[in-house]
């Protein structure tokens, strides 16, 4: 008998339980521990995905919150513009336009010769528009200075159109142009 066989036969009562325990451990690992390890790994990946979703949801929430705050700020600024910058009615708008254009004409050394007003209201809006058409005459440099002053004035007036007048009128008075200047005012009724 060889040495290994002799040890196995003499110590069989110790070796058999050890082999059974080793096989049971291997079987336990294959049947229980390995599948549980995979489940834990899958759960960790799912938890990571959920954390990413939570982070993205918080970022979306912050962006939405900032958008709401921006809209509120824009609404407040628009209301301030309506209250403080725009004329309250057609009469105030007409007076403001005439007064400011007269002051600018005097400062630029040009003449405002004739003017007409037209009113329009856009459906669904709280704003109406008054367009004032004036004939302006003077030297080219003075007319240019007047237009620059009008465009940089703090009052809300829009220079919509500039057109040269007839040749006879220009030779008589220097350069003659027709200006369409618009301003807006608040109206209460919305169509």
Q: For residue range 43-94, what is the model confidence (pLDDT) as tens digits?
A: 899 999 999 999 999 999 999 999 999 999 998 888 888 888 888 888 888 8
Mean pLDDT of 18-39: 87
Q: 59, 85, 111 — which closes off a domain? A: 85
What is the chain's mean pLDDT, rounded? 86
Structure pTM? 0.59
Q: Kindly provide the b/e burial profile for residues 148-164, where b requires at least 16 CB atoms within 10 angstroms of the residue's own CB.
A: ebbeeeeeebeeeeeee
Domain assignment of residue 147, yes or no: yes
Residue percentage of the chain with pLDDT more than 90? 28
Specify the pLDDT at position 149.
92
Domain assignment of residue 37, yes or no: yes
pLDDT tens digits, residue range 139-169?
889 999 999 999 998 888 889 999 887 656 5
The whole domain housing 133 covers 90-186
97 and 46 belong to one structural domain:
no
The DSSP bridge partners found for residue 176 are: 137
Q: Which residue has the higher pLDDT, 183 or 4?
A: 183
Q: Which residues contact 116 (CB under 8 A, 6 or more apart)?
A: 132, 133
24 and 44 belong to one structural domain:
yes
2 and 56 belong to one structural domain:
yes
Specify the pLDDT at position 180.
92
Segments in the chain forming alpha helices (H)? 3-10, 12-28, 34-80, 90-108, 140-151, 167-173
Q: What is the CATH number of the domain that holds 112?
A: 3.30.70.60
Q: 40, 59, 85 — which closes off a domain? A: 85
Domain assignment of residue 191, yes or no: no
Torsion of CA 22, 23, 24, 29, to 10 degrees: 90
Specify the pLDDT at position 170.
54
Q: 36, 63, 85 — which closes off a domain? A: 85
Domain assignment of residue 26, yes or no: yes
The answer to whether residue 1 scores a pLDDT higher than 80 is: no
Domain count, the chain: 2
140 and 112 belong to one structural domain:
yes
Q: Do residues 111 and 136 lie in contact, with contact meaning Cβ atoms separated by under 8 Å?
A: yes
63 and 114 belong to one structural domain:
no
């Amino acid at each position: 008998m060889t040495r290994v066989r002799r040890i196995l036969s003499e110590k069989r009562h110790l070796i058999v339980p050890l082999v059974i325990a080793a096989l049971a451990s291997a079987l336990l690992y294959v049947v229980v521990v390995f599948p549980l390890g995979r489940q834990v790994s899958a759960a960790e990946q799912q938890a990571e995905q959920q954390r990413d979703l939570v982070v993205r949801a918080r970022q979306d929430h912050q962006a939405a919150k900032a958008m709401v705050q921006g809209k509120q700020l824009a609404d407040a600024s628009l209301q301030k513009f309506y209250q403080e910058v725009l004329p309250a009615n057609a009469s105030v708008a007409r007076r403001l336009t005439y007064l400011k254009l007269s002051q600018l004409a005097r400062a630029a050394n040009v003449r405002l010769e004739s003017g007409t007003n037209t009113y329009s209201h856009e459906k669904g809006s709280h704003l109406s528009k008054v367009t004032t058409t004036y004939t302006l005459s003077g030297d080219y440099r003075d007319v240019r200075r007047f237009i620059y002053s009008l465009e940089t004035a703090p009052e809300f007036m829009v220079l919509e159109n500039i057109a040269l007048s007839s040749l006879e009128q220009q030779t008589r008075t220097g350069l003659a142009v027709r200006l369409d200047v618009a301003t807006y005012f608040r109206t209460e009724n919305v169509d």
